[in-house]
Amino acid sequence: IAASLLPLGVAALLAWPATAAQNIRILVDGRTVTVTDDVATVKDALASARVVLGQHDEVQPGLSTLLVSEGTIRVSRVTFHEG
């Protein structure tokens, strides 16, 4: 039985982020949101915190950047007004 469970354990390990980070601070909309979940990328952290980006919003570091624990993400809202 143990041998038949081995592939499931291996698959779970392969699906786990290679570099899971915790306690990520997101500076957005004049407040700080802390993500305590294990996240791998900036995009993962924003999704975990339910931060929705607008079409022109800027994110530093970039969405695909791998995170380290205690890191900081800055979201700058960008809007355009006709006038």
Q: Are strands 72-76 and 58-60 parallel, antiparallel or unpaired?
A: antiparallel
- pLDDT in the model for residue 82: 87
User: In tens digits, what is the pLDDT along the chain, a chain of 83 residues?
Assistant: 455 555 555 555 555 545 689 999 999 999 999 999 999 999 999 999 999 999 999 999 999 999 999 999 999 999 988 87
- Residue of 68, 71, 73 whose CA lies nearest to 19: 68
Tokens at residue 39, please? 């996240």
Strand partners, 26: 33, 73
pTM of the model: 0.75
